C-alpha cells in the first residue's frame, strides 16, 4: 500500500508541482489536469503495476484521489490473481 | 544504450521495402492524378496482412511491435502518402476498438479489420471544428436501445471507402466516441476532391441525419471520447505520420541525389556544386534526426512509458516540418523540372505539407511541447 502511494505520488508530482497533493484530495477539482494527463495516468498505472485498464474501468471515481487510485489498482491486481 | 534492429525487424524492413517498390510506387502517381486509390492496393495490403499489422494475433492480426510498425509506415511514406494514411486511420480505429470496446465488439470487428474486409475511418474533425476538438458539434442522444447521431464530419481520410467509422459526438454534453457502420440508417458520405496533397486518401464529408446505431456501439464511456479514446488513437496516428514523414523525406533525398548526379550545369554535374552539397547535407542530417526521434518514440511506446506521448509529439513536430523543408529543397534542386509532375518531387512537395496539418497542426504541437517544457524542465 505504502509503496504504491509513493509511486503514484511521484508520478502525480510532475503535474502538481507547486502543490503537495493529499491522499484524499480530489485531483480533478484542482483543475490542473487535461486530456493528456488522463492518457498518461492510464499508461503509468498499466506499466507500473502491470494492470490493463479497459472500458469497464472508465469511471472517474477510480482516479479521483490517490486513495481511490490505490484501491482501484488493488482491485485490478486481485482480479488478475 | 543500444540502438539496433532485431533480425525479425530487419526481415520485415526488407519485406516492406520490396512491397512498396513493387506494389505502392508503381501506382502512386496515377492514384495522385486520379485522386483515387485503386482497390488493388488495399487488396494486396490485406493479402500481406498489413491491414492487421497493429491488431493482436488472437484476432488474426500480425501484432507488430511499435518499431516494426514505424518501419512499415516509413516505407509506405516513402512510396505514397495516401497509402500510408490508410494504414494510419485504419489502425487508429482498430486500436481504439481493441483498447476501449467490450469483448463482443472486439470479437466482431477486429478479425474483419485484420483481414481488410472492413476498413476503418476516424471521424473527429467537423466543418467548424479542427484543432479545438473539445467543441465538437455532432450530437448523440440515447433513445431506448439506440443512440441517434446528428451532425457532419469533414476531411475524413478514407471516408469514401471505409465501412466503419469512429465518430466523436457530444453526448450528455460530453465528448463521447461511437462506432458507426456505413450501412447505418441516416448515414451518408460525400467525396471531397481538389486536395493539394495525399490526393488519393479518399477524403469525404460524413453526414449523419438521425443516424441510428445500437447503444452497444459506444466506445469507452460517456465523456471519455477525447481524454481516452481520441487521445490514444491520435497518439498512434501521430507516430505513424511522423514515421511516414521520414520515408517521404528519404524519397526526396534519393531523387535529389539521382538528379544532382545526372544533371549538368556550368559544364559539370550539379553534385559538384557546393551549394547543392550543403542542401544534400542538411537533408541527410535532418532525416536521420527525425528517424532517431521516431525510433525513440516507438521504443518508449512499445514499453508503455507515459513519456512516449510527448516523445511522439516531438517526433511528429520535427518530422513533419523536416519533410516540408526537405521536399522544398528537393524541388529547388530539380529547378523547373521539380515543378512538373513528370518528376515525383512535385508530388512529394504537395504531400509533405499535409503532414503539418493532420493529427495536430504544427502550432498545436508548439503549444503542447512548450507547455510540457515549462512543466518539466524548470
Would you place residue A28 in the very low, low, confident or very high pLDDT band (cuts 50, 70, 90)?
confident
Torsion sign, CA atoms A41, A43, A44, A48:
positive
Cell match 495536430: residue?
B360
**pLDDT at residue A16, as a whole number:** 76
B261: part of which helix (H) or strand (E)?
Answer: helix B231-262
Contacting residues of B for A35, CB less than 8 Å apart: 226-227, 230-231
Q: What is the pLDDT of residues B296-311, one digit of tens each?
A: 999 999 999 999 999 9
**pLDDT at residue A32, as a whole number:** 67
Cell match 491520435: residue?
B234
CB-based contact B304 A14, cutoff 8 Å: no
Q: Which of A44, A55, A60 sits opposite B100 (nearest CB)?
A: A55
CA distance B293 to B314: 7
> DSSP secondary-structure letter at B192?
-
CA distance B107 to B96: 13
Q: Which residues contact B310 (CB under 8 A, 6 or more apart)?
A: B368, B369, B372
- A4: closest CA of chain B, how far (Å): 17
C-alpha cell at B129: 471544428
List the single residue in B with minimal CA-CA distance to A59.
B221
Q: Is B226-376 CATH 1.20.140.10?
A: yes
Cell match 509503496: residue?
A3
Q: Are B121 and B159 a contacting pair, CB within 8 Å? A: yes
Residue ranges in chain B whose pLDDT is less than 50: none
Q: Is B7-115 CATH 1.10.540.10?
A: yes
CB-based contact A43 B303, cutoff 8 Å: no
**pLDDT at residue A35, as a whole number:** 74
CB-based contact B231 A46, cutoff 8 Å: no
CA distance B67 to B35: 31
Q: Are B27 and B41 a contacting pair, CB within 8 Å? A: yes
Q: Does B368 touch chain A (CB under 8 A)?
A: yes
Full residue range of the structural domain in which residue A71 is found: 2-80
Q: Are B232 and B226 a contacting pair, CB within 8 Å? A: no
Q: Does B255 touch chain A (CB under 8 A)?
A: no
Structural domain count of chain A: 1
Q: Does B221 touch chain A (CB under 8 A)?
A: yes
In CATH, the number for domain B120-223 is 2.40.110.10
Would you place residue A1 in the very low, low, confident or very high pLDDT band (cuts 50, 70, 90)?
low
Q: Does A26 touch chain B (CB under 8 A)?
A: no
Would you place residue A2 in the very low, low, confident or very high pLDDT band (cuts 50, 70, 90)?
confident
Q: Where are the domains of chain B?
A: 7-115, 120-223, 226-376
CATH number, domain at A56? Answer: 1.10.1200.10
ipTM: 0.91
Q: What is the pLDDT of residues B82-136, one digit of tens each?
A: 999 999 999 999 999 999 999 999 999 999 999 999 999 999 999 999 999 889 9
Q: Does A36 touch chain B (CB under 8 A)?
A: yes
Q: What is the pLDDT of residues B195-234, one digit of tens each?
A: 999 999 999 999 999 999 999 999 999 999 999 999 999 9
What DSSP letter does each residue of B307-363 carry, written as one string? THHHHHHHHHHHHHHHHHHHHHHHHHHHGGGGGSTTSHHHHHHHHHHHTTTTTS-HH
CB-based contact B368 A36, cutoff 8 Å: yes
Q: How far is CA B295 from the centre of its chain?
A: 16
Amino acid at each position: 500500500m505504502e509503496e504504491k502511494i509513493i509511486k503514484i505520488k511521484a508520478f502525480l508530482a510532475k503535474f502538481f508541482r507547486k502543490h503537495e497533493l493529499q491522499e484524499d484530495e480530489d485531483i480533478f477539482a484542482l483543475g490542473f489536469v487535461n486530456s493528456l494527463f488522463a492518457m498518461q495516468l492510464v499508461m503509468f498505472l498499466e506499466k507500473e503495476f502491470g494492470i490493463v485498464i479497459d472500458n469497464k474501468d472508465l469511471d472517474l471515481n477510480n482516479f479521483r484521489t490517490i486513495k481511490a487510485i490505490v484501491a482501484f489498482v488493488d482491485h485490478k491486481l486481485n482480479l488478475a490473481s | 544504450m543500444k540502438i539496433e534492429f532485431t533480425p525479425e525487424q530487419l526481415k520485415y524492413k526488407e519485406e516492406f521495402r520490396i512491397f512498396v517498390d513493387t506494389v505502392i510506387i508503381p501506382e502512386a502517381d496515377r492514384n495522385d492524378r486520379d485522386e483515387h486509390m485503386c482497390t488493388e492496393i488495399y487488396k494486396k495490403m490485406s493479402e500481406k496482412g498489413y491491414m492487421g499489422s497493429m491488431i493482436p494475433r488472437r484476432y488474426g492480426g500480425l501484432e507488430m511491435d511499435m518499431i516494426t510498425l514505424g518501419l512499415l509506415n516509413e516505407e509506405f511514406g516513402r512510396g505514397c502518402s495516401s497509402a500510408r494514411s490508410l494504414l494510419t486511420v485504419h489502425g487508429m480505429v482498430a486500436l481504439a476498438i481493441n483498447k476501449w470496446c467490450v469483448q463482443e465488439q472486439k470479437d466482431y470487428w477486429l478479425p474483419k479489420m485484420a483481414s481488410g474486409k472492413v476498413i476503418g475511418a476516424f471521424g473527429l474533425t467537423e466543418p467548424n471544428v479542427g484543432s479545438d476538438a473539445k467543441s465538437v458539434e455532432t450530437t448523440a442522444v440515447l433513445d431506448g436501445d439506440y443512440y441517434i447521431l446528428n451532425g457532419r464530419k469533414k476531411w475524413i481520410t478514407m471516408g469514401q471507402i471505409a465501412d466503419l467509422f469512429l465518430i466523436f459526438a457530444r453526448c450528455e454534453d460530453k465528448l463521447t466516441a461511437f462506432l458507426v457502420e456505413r450501412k447505418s440508417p441516416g448515414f451518408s458520405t460525400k467525396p471531397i476532391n481538389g486536395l493539394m496533397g495525399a490526393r488519393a486518401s479518399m477524403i469525404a464529408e460524413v453526414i449523419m441525419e438521425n443516424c441510428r446505431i445500437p447503444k452497444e456501439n459506444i466506445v469507452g464511456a460517456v465523456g471519455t471520447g477525447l481524454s481516452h479514446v481520441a487521445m490514444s488513437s491520435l497518439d498512434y496516428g501521430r507516430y505513424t505520420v511522423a514515421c511516414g514523414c521520414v520515408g517521404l523525406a528519404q524519397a526526396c533525398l534519393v531523387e535529389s541525389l539521382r538528379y544532382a548526379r545526372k544533371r549538368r550545369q556550368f559544364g559539370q554535374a550539379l553534385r559538384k556544386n557546393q551549394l547543392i552539397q550543403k542542401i544534400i547535407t542538411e537533408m541527410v542530417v535532418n532525416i536521420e534526426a527525425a528517424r532517431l526521434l521516431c525510433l525513440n518514440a516507438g521504443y518508449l511506446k512499445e514499453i508503455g512509458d507515459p513519456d512516449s506521448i510527448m516523445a511522439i509529439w516531438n517526433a511528429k513536430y520535427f518530422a513533419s516540418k523536416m519533410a516540408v523543408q526537405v521536399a522544398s529543397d528537393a524541388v529547388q534542386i530539380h529547378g523547373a523540372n521539380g515543378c512538373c509532375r513528370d518528376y515525383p518531387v512535385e508530388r512529394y512537395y504537395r504531400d509533405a505539407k499535409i503532414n503539418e496539418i493532420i493529427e495536430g497542426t504544427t502550432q498545436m504541437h508548439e503549444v503542447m511541447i512548450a507547455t510540457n517544457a515549462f512543466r518539466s524542465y524548470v
